[in-house]
A and B are shown apart, each in its own frame.
Chain A
Amino acid sequence: MLDHERESLFKAWLDQHAGLVVKVARAYTQTAEDCQDLMQEIFLQVWRSLSQFEGRASASTWSYRVALNTALSWQRNQRRRQADRLPIFEIPDVPGPAGDSAAQVEKREVIERLYGAIRQLPKGDTALVLLYLDDLSYRQIAEVLGISESNVGVKLNRAKKVLADLVGD
């Protein structure tokens, strides 16, 4: 793949999927600095893997796979990670529309609580819940995780209960 093709593909991918990277990075990290580091790691991995994307999976399935796999590897190698990265973007606050009404503040709090709960889930369930909240179908979730659709259903029911308990606490 030529460099300019790769570059335009990357920019197009960024337009579509940057939000997914932020969500995954937030869910797998505790601090803004770590979130920034993981986001850059995911972007680097996407850049390196773009030439391998063959269109067999949909772009979003592929993106989730790269993001989640990178997040898991990043957690394992956290102690050895690169420390010389420049902070090149602001990690957006949990987004809410401008002009905070009481309802909007409440929504933002719900999201914060959701992130807090997701971080407490077992590692395998974190990925499952993220995909569920982003409204992927059972088939897509099964493709990302590499498990059967029926297994997705069973595990999701259990994970949703745990999540509801954690959010409710």
Chain B
Amino acid sequence: MESDEMKQAWQAAGASPRQTIDANLLLTEVRRNEQSFRAMIFLRDLREITVALVLIPVWIVMGRWIKLPWMWYAMIPALLFVAGFMLIDRRRHAPRDAEASQSLAAHVASALAQVDHQIWLLRNVFWWYLLPMTLAIAGFAGHIAWAMWQEGGWAVAGFVMVVTAPTFAYVYWLNQRAVRSELLPRRQELHALLASLSEKAS
């Protein structure tokens, strides 16, 4: 079949489907979708900050209740740092509405930049997530071991680190697995698409 014939058939079939779409109903649905989209973004941000904000009073209450040493509270700045980092990063790298009407090549390049950033974020999860938490927990364990050496504080400290180390190692592994199984293939796909758009065929 010749390409002109294909074009003709395509355009002949291109009658507007306007009659099958009720504009008012569509508007209602679009508004509903927009609201649920905004609610989803709001809840996602709220969930992340809530985890930190709920943990902080829990941490304080536990510390006072069990009369734990002051190093126990080192976790509070660590939690604030992690929550703040995630929120600021999300705000700085949020997709913008204007990106939807970029050219296809520019849109793919933006998507690629976002995936690259996600990869950077997960590959560096140790520095911005695990390290602050580890320092706070290790500080607490060290303090217990030092201050209560005679009363078996070293055993408590050892137990805390034995629980913490594999948990954090698992969190790290999960993040690296997400990079390998989801983000790298997506980046490869976007690279291929961008290359296919920009290549000059010989």
Contact = CB atoms under 8 A, between A and B. Distances in A.
Contacts of B18: 14-15, 18-19
Q: Top 4 nearest A-B pairs by Cβ distance?
A: A146-B103, A146-B105, A124-B196, A133-B10
Interface of A: 7, 10-11, 14-15, 18-19, 22-23, 40, 43-45, 47-49, 51-53, 57, 62, 65-66, 68-70, 72-73, 76, 82, 84-86, 88-92, 94-96, 107-108, 110-111, 114, 122-125, 127, 132-135, 143-147, 150-151, 154-155, 158, 160, 163-164, 167-168
A55 B9 CA distance: 31
A88 B13 contact: no
B33 to A, nearest CB: 5
A66 B197 contact: no
B20 interface: yes
Interface residues of B, number: 51
B201 A82 contact: no
30 contacts: A11-B23, A15-B16, A22-B17, A43-B29, A49-B100, A65-B103, A66-B101, A70-B100, A72-B104, A73-B111, A76-B186, A88-B29, A89-B20, A89-B21, A90-B20, A110-B1, A110-B5, A110-B9, A123-B196, A124-B193, A124-B196, A125-B196, A135-B7, A146-B102, A146-B104, A146-B105, A151-B200, A164-B2, A164-B6, A167-B6
A47 B106 CA distance: 21
A49 B27 contact: no
Contacts of A91: 20
Contacts of A68: 104
B34 A147 contact: no
Question: Which of B14, B22, B31 has the most A CB atoms < 10 Å from its CB?
Answer: B14
A49 to B, nearest CB: 5
